[in-house]
Structure 1
Amino acid sequence: MTNNKYKILIADDDNISVILLTKYLKNIPTEFFIARDGVEAIKIFEDNPDIDIILMDLKMPKLNGLEATKKIKSLNPNVKIIAETAFAMVDDEKKALDAGCDAYITKPINAEKLIKIIEEMQNI
């Protein structure tokens, strides 16, 4: 965290998810970055390597969240990434964690659960 403000990248191609996530986190001093696909998420992270947390949708166009996570973790293994998905399959959580995600949450996202995960990661 820099300047008492968290930098959070939301990598999600669904507008409603982006709106909800920013609303859920409105009480945390945050600077948001928005990526609509995995390629854009990597580019934003390369341009802003001090991002604290990434909320990574697993199903996105151009490059999925698992591949984007692997690339971002190769750039900085310490950045915290929370996988999110609306299409939860039995092995999705394992795949996300194996790709380098630090936590996993399913949509519809529960705001309290998300904030708890972030607090555990960052000690807000």
Structure 2
Amino acid sequence: MKDNKPRNLKTTDELWDEIKKISRYEHRSLNEQINYFLKNSCREFRKNNPEFDNSEDSADRKTVKELAQIIKESRISSFTDKPKILLIDDSYIENMIYKEYLESHNCEVFLAFNEDTALELTGKIPGIDIAIIDYRLPEMTADQLLEKMQKINNSFDSIIVTSDIRPFIRTSFGNCDPEPYAFIEKSADNLEILIKEIQKKI
């Protein structure tokens, strides 16, 4: 039986070699490889750069950029006009992976790591095209947040990214107008799907 247990990967090239061995649809195995790589890369970075010992941002930003460069191999062409994307997720790493990937496809990306920032940016950024929202946030769920955002501005579309694929998730947005037009399972190799969904509205 094949052992998919992650090895102690030290470089992005080693990570890519491991990913190529895994079936495209084995999301769990792929995410284990990526998360393991990020964890060990951040630890190694902090060990070699003690001045950043108390700053997760610096270490994570370094490894996320390396990782995004690997996993963004997409045959989808970039957008001609830059769509404005508001990314809302309390996970720094996931937000940065999506940001790097979307910017590589000529999107203008704004980040919100909590609900208050999301509401603030909804009112401040003119011409938001699409909000990409993690379903489970620290203070509320995406349906509750989207309803509040639409009271400020309801001219944008939305995509929900979630690791919870139970049917009731899709039906919880009845008070939102417009409702989200796409629900995407949270997974590192669903980035191409995200671009395709954005293309439907741009």
Q: TM-score, normalised by structure 2?
A: 0.53
Change (3 A) 1:102 1:74: farther
User: Superposition RMSD on alpha carbons, in Å?
Assistant: 2.1
> Sequence identity, in percent?
27
Preserved CA contact (<8 Å) 2:102 2:109: no
User: Which 5+ residue runs of structure 2 have no aligned equivalent?
Assistant: 1-80
Partner Cα distance (2:192, 2:174) in 1: 21
Runs of 4+ in 1 over 3 A off after TM superposition: 96-99
What is the match of residue 159 of structure 2?
82
- Structure number with the higher strand fraction is 1
Partner Cα distance (1:24, 1:54) in 2: 15
What is the match of residue 24 of structure 1?
101
Deviation at 1:20, TM superposition (A): 2.0
Deviation at 1:62, TM superposition (A): 2.6
- Over alpha carbons, which structure has the higher Rg? 2
What is the match of residue 112 of structure 1?
192
What is the match of residue 181 of structure 2?
102
Preserved CA contact (<8 Å) 2:103 2:109: no
Which string of whole-angstrom CA distances, capped at 9 and with x for unpartnered residues, describes residues 61-95 of structure 1?
13332111112223333201111112222211222
Change (3 A) 1:105 1:98: farther
Q: TM-score, normalised by structure 1?
A: 0.83
RCO (CA 8 Å, sep 6+): is it higher in 1 or 2?
A: 1
Partner Cα distance (2:123, 2:131) in 1: 13
Deviation at 1:54, TM superposition (A): 0.7
Deviation at 1:55, TM superposition (A): 0.5
Preserved CA contact (<8 Å) 1:38 1:64: no
Preserved CA contact (<8 Å) 1:105 1:114: yes
What is the match of residue 40 of structure 1?
117
Partner Cα distance (1:37, 1:65) in 2: 11
User: Which 5+ residue runs of structure 1 have no aligned equivalent?
Assistant: none
